[in-house]
Amino acid sequence: MHKLKSNNISRLIGFVVFGIFLLYLSNTIDELRVYQGATVAMYVVAISSIILLTGYSGQVSLGHGALLAVGGYGAALVRNNLHAPVWLSFAAAVLIAALCGALLGVTAARLSGPYLAGTTLALAVGLPSIANQFKFLGGEQGLIFDIGLPPASLGETFSQYKWFFWIAALTALIAMWWLQNLLRSRYGRIWRAVRTQSVAAELAGINVARAKILAFTVSAGLAGLAGALLSMTISTVSPGAFPLSLSFALATGAVLSGVTTLGGVMIGAVTLVAIPEIADALTQRFGASENVINSLPGLMVSGLLIVVVLFVPNGPVEQIRHRRKK
């Protein structure tokens, strides 16, 4: 048992070291990259929610964008109406999204594979339009979500984007550390059992439905946190920021990372941010027609996705692990 504890501590140290590295990084790279770093951190949290839900508990969600939206709106409403500090708005985002996740999970537990996919898809399509029904949700132009300027103690020249990055990175680090602990705990094992051998699990005394609902709740909470981070980076929250393509992008990122394990989550996050820019750079370098410029990013993302799913379906991390074992 003490072996477990020492492993926990060494993992915590690993996270702290990584955090210090990110701190150093944020002071050396330029502003655009810092902003993209904040986006990567957001994707890390969002993709991890899919990994938990699908890779661990075996439930498919095509509508996690809706849960991000719930988190984003929750954070904005709490901050704007209650003048709450930023960390409290984030906490509110997590709680409200988790609540929705629990509700969704209760329905989802009864549904299998494609039926669940269909329900979550319908949710993703339907939820954003709710914002237009209620005045306090701000409608199409959305609500402001302003986390404020960096504190004066950090100096005059401390850029807003670095502040975004610090908050996002810290949030992602804490969330990932917490999640990794959770996945290594008894809960992680239960979820894995539910996904791979649900009948055996039931016989072994695990309440499969309860486990599934719990997975959905935690996953939704993480998604809500990611949604708050997303709203922070664009300083607003509006229905247009959570389109269906976001839900698909998250599923894509999860597959690119390797949906069964948390280890590769950065790969998916970085790819989602990097590909459009690489496509841009390619078309600019080789000067292409308008058709190509508009089609290339989509082509690259889709092409990469298909290649990965066909040849490295369990993700690069599992692939390496697999090869190591041999």
Using CB under 8 A, which residues numbered 8 to 67 contact another protein?
10-11, 14, 18, 21-22, 25, 28-33, 35-37, 39-40, 54-56, 58, 60, 62
* Residue 154 touching another protein (CB under 8 A): no
* Structural tokens at position 3: 């072996």
**Whether 70 contacts 242, CB under 8 Å:** no
Name the minimum Å distance from CB 188 to another protein: 8
Contacts of another protein in 289-308 (CB under 8 A): 290-299, 301-303, 305-306
Diameter of the chain measured on Cα atoms: 63
Contacts of another protein in 202-221 (CB under 8 A): none
* Residue 157 touching another protein (CB under 8 A): no
* Residue 319 touching another protein (CB under 8 A): no
**Is the Cβ of residue 286 or residue 311 nearer to another protein in the bound state?**
311
- Other beta carbons within 10 Å of 211: 22
* Residue 136 touching another protein (CB under 8 A): no
* Residue 274 touching another protein (CB under 8 A): yes
Q: Which stretch binds another protein (CB under 8 A): 78-86, 88-96, 212-220, 240-248?
A: 240-248
Q: Which of 229, 263, 267, 323 is nearest to 14 (CA)?
A: 263
At CA 217, angle to CA 178 and CA 88, rounded to 5?
60
Contact partners, residue 315, CB within 8 Å, separation at least 6: 255, 256, 257, 258, 259, 260, 261, 264, 267, 308
**Whether 270 contacts 172, CB under 8 Å:** no
- For the chain, what's the residue count? 326
Binding-site size for another protein (CB under 8 A) equals: 115
Name the minimum Å distance from CB 267 to another protein: 5
Contact partners, residue 243, CB within 8 Å, separation at least 6: 65, 128
Name the minimum Å distance from CB 221 to another protein: 21
- Other beta carbons within 10 Å of 113: 10
By CB under 8 A, name the one of 101, 105, 221, 264 that touches another protein: 264
Name the minimum Å distance from CB 223 to another protein: 15
* Residue 132 touching another protein (CB under 8 A): yes
Name the minimum Å distance from CB 254 to another protein: 8
Distance between CA 145 and CA 237 in Å, rounded?
7
* Residue 81 touching another protein (CB under 8 A): no
Contacts of another protein in 169-188 (CB under 8 A): 184
By CB under 8 A, name the one of 141, 148, 154, 210 that touches another protein: 141
* Structural tokens at position 140: 């199409």
Contact partners, residue 51, CB within 8 Å, separation at least 6: 254, 257, 259, 260, 261, 262, 265
By CB under 8 A, name the one of 86, 88, 102, 139 that touches another protein: 139
* Residue 110 touching another protein (CB under 8 A): yes
Name the minimum Å distance from CB 86 to another protein: 15
**Whether 131 contacts 105, CB under 8 Å:** no
Contact partners, residue 314, CB within 8 Å, separation at least 6: 258, 259, 260, 322
Name the minimum Å distance from CB 305 to another protein: 4
